[in-house]
């Protein structure tokens, strides 16, 4: 007997409502597949584009210890990109196609990586604020309904926690250093704060994907709820470092137990995601160059894999 589409959709929704995971071979509505491919591929692209502003400082890290830590962090981001492309491929679009969408400028990646990393303190600010915001979002995504994505998130969040600490530690050290170092830390916070607040996505009412993705438990909370948690957690950390968050409207409300905060510059956010941020062009050029320069590695890996395949067949 043919099962009709409404019944399938109802069974699918029931499964999600019971908190069960959806796996690649399970039936799913085409729109669920599309939404997840969109989010997971944007996320994968963000991880590998996110290597660029930090990679910029590997050769200029202030000492060997800092350099080794930064190298490890940037390699982690590459690894995150790889898990996420693999997880996205389980939904039926090849990695080659997803990368092509990135390289031709068709796909989005996080707005945050279109800002420049001007000083060493920016490496601290990226770890503390960008990884800090990413963790808030990703611990929620780790509880999401799609098995491969939620499992990738669990692992990624562990590594992001280390990234967040290393960023905090860089800024903490600078904030307790010479006057010039303190100024550098404050300047990095001034430049990265608002982009980090906005990277969690537009506010309710301007977030067209939230309703559907929350119904399907791809997202479990709104962008605003995560933004609030990020701000509540981060402001006291700035206080400990003696740094000032560049928001005059930031006030702790004893009744709600949350910080009230000012209005981000959403025009700037939309300009950045349209491609008009300070570094959009450079990021895409650098990524395309890196991909082209890596062609021989992909060719060698393919040749090796096919040789192994023939060997295994003969044996
Ligand atoms: N940048 O309806 P919503 C990291 C787009 S990983 C660019 O609210 P949604 C680790 C959105 O795509 C950071 N575009 O969308 C790291 C949509 O356009 P579309 C990345 C943005 O999906 C640290 C439109 O606006 N994390 O940092 C942005 O429900 C350090 C309407 O928005 C992820 O990707 C933005 N910031 O919520 C790496 C996590 N925000 O696609 C290296 C997975 C929104 O309809 C160094 N993604 N847009 O054309 C998500 O959780 C969600 O996609 C949100 C947006 C929360 C980003």
Per residue in 193-224, pLDDT (tens digit) is 999 999 999 999 999 999 999 999 999 999 99
Q: Please check whether residue 39 is in contact with residue 108, taking contact to mean a CB–CB distance below 8 angstroms.
A: no
Taking every pair of Cα atoms in the chain, the longest distance, rounded to a whole number of angstroms, is 76
Residue with the smallest CA separation from ligand 1 atom 24 is: 207
Ligand 1 and 212: CB distance under 6 A:
no
Question: Among 133, 46, 157, 36, which residue's Cα sits nearest to residue 87?
Answer: 36
Total residue count of the chain as it appears in this document: 315
Q: What one-character-per-residue DSSP string does 177-217 give?
A: S-HHHHHHHHHHHHHHHHHHHHTT-PPTTS-TTHHHHHHTT
- Which residue out of 73, 201, 213 has the highest number of ligand 1 atoms within 8 Å of its CB and is therefore the one to mutate? 201
Question: What is the Å distance from ligand 1's center to 220 Cα?
Answer: 14
Could you identify the atom of ligand 1 that is nearest to the CA of residue 141? 51
Quote the mean pLDDT of the chain.
Answer: 96
30-43: average pLDDT: 98
| Residue 1 clears pLDDT 60, i.e. is over it | no
Question: What is the Å distance from ligand 1's center to 108 Cα?
Answer: 8
Q: Which pLDDT does position 56 carry in this prediction?
A: 93
CA distance 86 to 63: 35
* 48-105 confidence digits (pLDDT tens): 999 999 999 999 999 999 999 999 999 999 999 999 999 999 999 999 999 999 999 9
Q: Give 294's contacts (C-beta < 8 A, 6+ positions apart).
A: none
Q: Is 74 helix (H, G, I), strand (E, B) or coil?
A: helix
Q: Please check whether residue 171 is in contact with residue 189, taking contact to mean a CB–CB distance below 8 angstroms.
A: yes
Could you identify the atom of ligand 1 that is nearest to the CA of residue 40? 43
Where residue 123 falls among pLDDT bands split at 50, 70, 90? Answer: very high
Q: Which pLDDT does position 5 carry in this prediction?
A: 84
B/e letters for 37-47, b = 16+ CB within 10 Å, e = fewer, are: bbbbbbbbbbb
CA distance 185 to 110: 23
CA atoms within 13 A on the CB side of 153: 23
pLDDT-wise least confident of 112-116, 281-285, 308-312: 308-312
Question: What is the Å distance from ligand 1's center to 60 Cα?
Answer: 30
| Residue 2 clears pLDDT 70, i.e. is over it | no
Backbone φ, ψ for residue 183 (5° rounding) = -65, -40
| Residue 315 clears pLDDT 90, i.e. is over it | no
CA distance 83 to 44: 8
* 238-291 confidence digits (pLDDT tens): 999 999 999 999 999 999 999 999 999 999 999 999 999 999 999 999 999 999
| Residue 311 clears pLDDT 90, i.e. is over it | no
Ligand 1 and 208: CB distance under 6 A:
yes
- Which residue out of 42, 85, 88, 112 has the highest number of ligand 1 atoms within 8 Å of its CB and is therefore the one to mutate? 42
Question: Among 55, 219, 63, which residue's Cα sits nearest to residue 153?
Answer: 219
Q: Is 226 helix (H, G, I), strand (E, B) or coil?
A: helix
Look up the pTM and report it.
0.96
Question: What is the Å distance from ligand 1's center to 301 Cα?
Answer: 32
Residues of the chain with pLDDT > 90, as a percent, come to 95
Residue 122 token pair: 């920016």
Ligand 1 and 41: CB distance under 6 A:
no
Q: What one-character-per-residue DSSP string does 190-201 give?
A: HHHHHHHHHTT-
Ligand 1 and 81: CB distance under 6 A:
no
Question: Among 133, 163, 158, which residue's Cα sits nearest to residue 72?
Answer: 163
Ligand 1 and 47: CB distance under 6 A:
yes
Residue with the smallest CA separation from ligand 1 atom 30 is: 131
CA distance 86 to 291: 17
Displacement of CA 95 from its chain's centroid (Å)? 18
CA distance 241 to 254: 22
Could you identify the atom of ligand 1 that is nearest to the CA of residue 47? 38
Q: Which pLDDT does position 13 carry in this prediction?
A: 97
Ligand 1 and 88: CB distance under 6 A:
no
CA distance 142 to 157: 8
Q: Please check whether residue 111 is in contact with residue 198, taking contact to mean a CB–CB distance below 8 angstroms.
A: yes
């Amino acid at each position: 007997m043919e099962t009709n589409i409404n019944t399938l959709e109802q069974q699918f929704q029931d499964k999600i409502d019971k908190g069960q995971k959806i796996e690649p071979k399970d039936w799913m509505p085409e729109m669920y597949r599309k939404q997840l491919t969109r989010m997971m591929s944007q996320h994968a692209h963000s991880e590998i584009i996110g290597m660029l502003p930090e990679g910029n400082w590997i050769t200029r890290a202030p000492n060997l210890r800092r350099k080794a830590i930064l190298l490890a962090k940037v390699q982690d981001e590459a690894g995150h990109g790889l898990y996420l492309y693999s997880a996205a491929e389980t939904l039926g679009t090849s990695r080659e196609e997803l990368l092509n969408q990135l390289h031709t400028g068709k796909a989005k990646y996080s707005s945050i990586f279109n800002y420049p990393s001007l000083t060493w303190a920016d490496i601290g600010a990226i770890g503390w604020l960008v990884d800090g915001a990413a963790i808030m979002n990703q611990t929620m995504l780790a509880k999401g309904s799609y098995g491969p994505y939620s499992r990738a998130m669990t692992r990624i969040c562990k590594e992001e926690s280390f990234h967040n600490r290393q960023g905090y530690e860089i800024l903490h050290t600078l904030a307790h250093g010479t006057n010039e170092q303190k100024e550098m830390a404050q300047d990095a916070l001034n430049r990265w704060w608002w982009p980090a607040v906005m990277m969690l996505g537009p506010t309710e009412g301007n977030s067209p994907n939230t309703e559907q993705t929350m119904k399907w438990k791809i997202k479990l909370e709104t962008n605003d709820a995560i933004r609030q948690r990020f701000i509540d957690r981060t402001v006291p950390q700035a206080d400990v470092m003696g740094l000032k968050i560049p928001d005059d409207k930031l006030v702790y409300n004893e009744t709600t137990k949350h910080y009230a905060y000012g209005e981000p510059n959403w025009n700037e956010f939309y300009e950045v995601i349209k491609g008009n941020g300070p570094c959009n062009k450079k990021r895409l050029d650098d990524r395309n160059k890196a991909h082209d320069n890596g062609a021989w590695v992909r060719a060698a890996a393919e040749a090796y894999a096919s040789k192994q395949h023939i060997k295994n067949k003969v044996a």
